[in-house]
Amino acid sequence: MTVDENHSEQSGAEQPQSKGRRKFLTIATSVVGGVGVLGASVPFIGSLGPSAKAKADAADVEVDISSMEPGQLILVRWQSKPVWIVRRTPEILAELTIAEDKLRDPNSEKQQQPAFAKNRGRSLNDEYLILVGICTHLGCSPKHLKNGAMEQYVEGVRNGFFCPCHGSKFDMAGRVFKNVPAPLNLVVPRYHFINDTTVVIGSEAEVS
């Protein structure tokens, strides 16, 4: 037998073994690949559910207002938005009638508040004003001006909100003044009081 013939016989003998080995490797690779795809799909599918942050953002926020001073504004976070709570004094409430002829929507006819807050003070309790602290123009956060600081923008009005981004002005009920970029009053979120010292932002009281 020649060298070439011997090599040919050896090659022929190895062919079934090579084919079998290739088949095994192909199957093994497919199985491993399939497990990898399955493993990768688990975290992806899990990510489709709401995150802990999303759940927290959607939840109601309970706020203790027992230590608020008259005229004070506190800031809380609800649905990733800044929410103001202001304890209004009798003097601040009296100001709401001074410049109503200069307001764009003095009677709150636009739906920027729950039904219970469609009144002059835009509130459930006149003493407490609760607003989403975002300008209705382009989403800036207005500044709270008090103790006469608002008079530089609106004559006779000592307290209010001024947006430094584009000059929009709001009174102490969050009502927008005329001739400014903001088209609507500030938003009043849904809320309810549990008692005299605790307010829940995010939902209205259940009707029994």
CATH code for the domain in which residue 60 is found: 2.102.10.10
One domain, residues 58 and 156: yes
77 Cβ contact partners less than 8 Å away, ≥ 6 residues apart: 61, 83
Where do the DSSP E strands lie in the chain? 61-64, 73-78, 81-87, 128-132, 143-145, 160-162, 169-170, 191-195, 198-201
Task: Calculate the average pLDDT of the chain.
Answer: 83
**CA 168 to CA 100: how far, in whole Å?**
16
- pLDDT band of residue 166 (cuts 50, 70, 90) is very high
Q: What is the pLDDT of residue 17?
A: 55
One domain, residues 110 and 72: yes
For the ranges 13-17, 105-109, 155-159, the lowest mean pLDDT is seen at 13-17
More confident residue, 9 or 78: 78
One domain, residues 78 and 175: yes
One domain, residues 100 and 166: yes
| 53-92 per-position pLDDT tens digit | 555 556 899 999 999 999 999 999 999 999 999 999 999 9
Any domain includes 208: no
| Domain count across the chain | 2
CA-to-CA dists, residue 155 to 127, 144, 150, angstroms: 24, 16, 8
Give residue 40's domain range: 1-49
**Centroid of chain to Cα 113:** 17
Alpha helices of 47-137 — where are they, by DSSP H? 52-58, 90-95
One domain, residues 27 and 75: no
One domain, residues 153 and 67: yes
C-alpha triplet 25, 27, 32: angle, nearest 5°: 90
Residue 140 above 70 pLDDT?
A: yes
Residue 40 above 50 pLDDT?
A: no
One domain, residues 21 and 66: no
**CA 14 to CA 17: how far, in whole Å?**
5
Helix and strand totals (H; E) in the chain: 3, 9
* Residues identified as active-site: 166
Q: What is the pLDDT of residue 79?
A: 94
Any domain includes 207: no
* Token pair in block for residue 70: 């008259």
Where do the DSSP E strands lie in 13-58? none
Any domain includes 206: no
Whole-angstrom distance between the N-terminal and C-terminal Cα of the chain?
A: 104
**CA 201 to CA 74: how far, in whole Å?**
13
Residue 21 above 60 pLDDT?
A: no
Q: What is the pLDDT of residue 22?
A: 54
Strands of the 128-132 sheet, one edge to the other: 73-78, 81-87, 128-132
